[in-house]
Structure 1
Amino acid sequence: MACAAAGLAAPAVFAQGKPIRIGVPTAMQLQVGRDTQDAVKMAIDDVNARGGVLGRKLEMVVADETENPETGISAIKKLTADEKVDVLIGGYTSGVTLAQLPHIASAKTIYLGVGAASPAITAKVKQDYDNYKYVFRVGPLNSAHQARQLTGFISNFVKGELGISKVAIVGENAKWVQDLVPLLKKGATEAGADVRATEFFDAQTSDFSPLFSKVKDSGAQYMVVVLSHASSDIFAKQWHDSRFPMPYGGIDVKSMDGDFCQRIGGKSVGELAANFAVRAPLTARTIPFFDEFAKKTSRSPVYTAFGANDAVYMYADAVKKAGSTDTNAVIKALEKASYEGITGVIEFDETHDVKPGAGTFKGPSLLLAQWRDGCKREVIYPKERRTADFVYPAWIKK
């Protein structure tokens, strides 16, 4: 496996060649975007301090794609046509990334995605390799893989350990969620769970009391959530303030934020939220990255930071192996890559999608971490990575 600085020259002396330009399209108004940019910069600074790649310095150029497809397309055009970057590292919203794909293909620029989860993104690679071979997903796991691992959580933890079989699944109306929820419902049912309700809600919802009533009336005893936008804060607050009579957990992207619990006044305490890494010895890179990121930014990194930081090193190593920034040669090197990253070992399948951890393969996996008193986080699932036992919210009887 490649180490963080594999193949990089030792002296910080650069040749006369022009810098290798890394374009970062991301939603800069959100923590996922700020963390993407900061994580890329951390890796670039480290690579440059070691002499760059093939004697060339790395440079970062950022474009704000927001969460709007048209703005996202403009960001790609700016980075590829105007800034003439060598590689793109970024992304967040699946709908935006899907809209960008034809423009990435047209620009013939390698794209290392670190935020969007829809399987449709990398499915393009298999469907039309010649046009979409430029697209890779370093992270997160695609929503189908997440559904399978969340199914394991329902089967092994909610049903197997808590003894709860009656569940409700709720998710926001976003592309990746619409991909995931049917798979999750099917998998949970096959695993023996009694799925009492499946509800979708608009990402702009401000009053969850009708949804909560439906879930409560369904007879469910545990609420599985799949959400990623601004509604997360409101959802957690209203769950807490209404003393909703069941615990909840699942994939809650905003709840991955290191300041999520504090910014809503501790009202997420009791929630289980999926993460791809926490400050634990998942790999040799995990704890050092968390500590260095906190030192430089005074924040705890969210999931896009993991993929963004790893993507810089993976691209640098692929360029070294290819002997140049020639796109086709770098693609071939990336296809063969096996890199020990922050979340696990990063390898790509035939669609250029990151392989999930399974069996003896230590690839990225979903970790379910619970917010606790004092806004600390403890890993509850999977059991082999557990740092503390699950605690019910104070108002809920076991």
Structure 2
Amino acid sequence: MSQYEPRGGETDVPENGTGRDDLNRRTLLKTAGGGAVGVSLAGCLDSYETIAGSADEDTETVTIGLLAPEPESDFVGHSMARSAAVAVDELNEAGGINGQDVELVVADTNGSPLEARRQYQRLVLEEGADVTVGTFASEALASLMDEIAEQELLHLTTGSATQFASQRVHDAYDRYKYHFRVGPTNDVDLGRAQINFMTEMAPEIGWESIAVLAEDYSWADQPWEIYQEQLKETPVDVAMDKRYSPATDDFTDIYDDVAEAGADAVFISAAHTGTDALLDWSVPNRPTSQPTPQPFAFGGIHVPMQLPNYYEETEGACRYGIGYSAATERSEITPKTQEFVQRYYETNGSYPQDMGYYTYDAVKLFAEVAELTGTTDSESLVPVIEAESFTGATGNVEFYDTDHVHAHDRVYDEDDETTVGVYFQWQQNDDGEGVREVIWPEVHATGEYITPPWLE
């Protein structure tokens, strides 16, 4: 998994910019004598080539800069990079953008705010990126907002949910208007999605009471607030709730409390601690020859369960667990979903993770508006994206208006079931393979919820 700064290690974002107000992309590109050298990803993660020369020396190329956590090893960053590469391949096969070839340059943020800023500067100032996409850790995106404003360059977020970014756009539009969130939905709407699932599905799957757990990272703050305010309006009773330490790697005591509270299920919000939480639910580390799973169901926002090969990685321990995602390899949110999934599989021999879908859509969205306007100039593209309605692999992509509190965030519309994400359950097919069956919303369902057999 990606490594992130927990609450105690967050980096404060300066209010007055980056401290580099005297240097921006435009001035550097005018004065650079042609010495920028970077690593470019052209279509495939395994095919790197060195590109020499500044961006204004190569006017026949449109450069997409991707910010991803550890793209050569981390499953989130890996999927983001490969998904962007698929999009770039498709664009080049179709003639590029406005007749220009498209190249992808990948930068490793290492899940660090400071490294994210350094890599952003490299993409823009050295590689001459025409747009940047990506970022995953909320702290990393927060650290970039003043950089994005300073460079006046379009950035399409495809992994971070923090509403910090949209608040900046709302509060100081002219400065921060270059930021758009293609996905995921912001942290407030992320919480709303869980409430909607609980309202519609809890009675159907037999969850009368739940234990609400969330890791104590900043990304989970807003969902937690939503849970506190709105779960009481759903059909379930909250038997207990707990924010637990980011350092938690043994959930035995927590799960003992859940069992004592009599909860039907753990409803968890976990990214960094998800696998430990899963294993201690499914195969608790107890001194018995045949460990007994915990006496409750398990699911929620669980980032590791979004990994398409998680069943194999956990040797089936995730079976019966449920998770939330933009899409799955079996879902068909729009016709473009399976087109992307199959191309990704043909190229990589595997399926994309959640943030890969958003990254693919971001690159394609940028290409569409650039083709519509005939330019990649950010100033020209901002109003076009604001008015855009784009159909992508993750559904219909539109953005909240500039006067909305979540300005330039992806719209979450309960009446448009292509915008609400999907809940899936890890199940086993007839061949003994793990599959993610979509169980909500009904219009996208590929299967039905299966109660863990030890709870029947």
Q: So what's the TM-score if we normalise by structure 2? A: 0.80
1:98 alignment counterpart: 142
Q: Deviations over 1:153-208 (max 9, x none)?
A: 212211x2134332111111221111211102321112243212221223332211
Q: Look up the equivalent residue of 2:327 and give its one-letter code.
A: A
**Counterpart amino acid of 1:395?**
W
How many pairs does the alignment contain?
Answer: 379
Q: Which amino acid aligns with 2:419?
A: P
CA contact (8 A) 2:417 2:441 kept: no
In structure 2, give the amino acid aligned to 1:201: Y
What does 1:1-398 correspond to in 2, within 5 Å? Answer: 17-27=59-69, 28=71, 29-158=73-202, 160-229=203-272, 231-242=273-284, 243-278=293-328, 279-350=330-401, 351-359=407-415, 361-373=416-428, 374-397=433-456
Q: Is the CA contact (8 Å cut-off) linking 1:355 and 1:363 kept in structure 2?
A: no
Query: TM-score, normalization: structure 1?
Result: 0.91
Task: Provide the secondary structure at the position in 2 that maps to 1:80.
Answer: helix
Distance 1:205 1:306, change over 3 A: same
The CA deviation at 1:280 is 2.4
Alpha-carbon distance between aligned partners in 2 of 1:18 and 1:292, rounded to the nearest angstrom: 26
Please provide the CA RMSD for this pair: 1.5
Deviation string 1:83-122 (CA, Å, 9 cap, x unpaired) is 2211001111111111111112112111100001112222
What letter corresponds to residue 364 of structure 1 in structure 2? T
Q: Name the CA distance, whole Å, in 1 between partners of 2:210 and 2:252.
A: 18
Contact in 2 for aligned 1:169/1:185 (Cα 8 Å): no
Q: Structure 1 CA distance, aligned partners of 2:122 and 2:339?
A: 34
Kindly provide the amino acid, as one letter, of the partner of residue 356 in structure 2: A
Q: Counterparts of 1:163 and 1:240 in 2: how far apart (Å)?
A: 19
Q: Deviations over 1:207-236 (max 9, x none)?
A: 11122122223332211011112x222221
For 1:177 and 1:384, the matched residues in 2 are separated by: 28
Task: Please state how far the C-alpha of 1:302 moved relative to its aligned partner.
Answer: 1.0
Gaps of 5+ in 2: 1-57, 285-292, 402-406
* Contact 2:192/2:223 (<8 A) preserved: no
Amino acid at match of 1:226: S
Which residue of 1 is the match for residue 288 of structure 2? none
Q: Once the 2 structures are TM-superposed, how far is the Cα of residue 257 of structure 1 from its aligned partner?
A: 0.3
3-state DSSP class of the match of 2:239? strand
Deviation sequence 1:7-33 (CA, Å, 0-9, x none): xxxxxxxxx833111110110231111
Distance in 1 between the 2:332 and 2:91 partners? 23
| Native 8 Å contact 2:209 2:265 kept in 1 | yes
Among all aligned residue pairs of Structure 1 and Structure 2, give the percentage whose two residues are the same amino acid.
Answer: 25
Aligned residue in 2 for 1:11 = none
Offset, 1:286: 0.8
- Corresponding position of 2:15: none
> Which consecutive residues of structure 1, in runs of 5 or more, have no partner in the other structure?
1-15
Q: Do 2:205 and 2:449's aligned partners in 1 also have CA atoms closer than 8 Å?
A: no
Give SS of 1:161's match: helix
Q: CA deviation at 1:386?
A: 2.2
> 1:258 Cα shift?
0.4
Letter aligned with residue 381 of structure 1: W
Say which SS state the counterpart of residue 147 (structure 2) adopts: helix
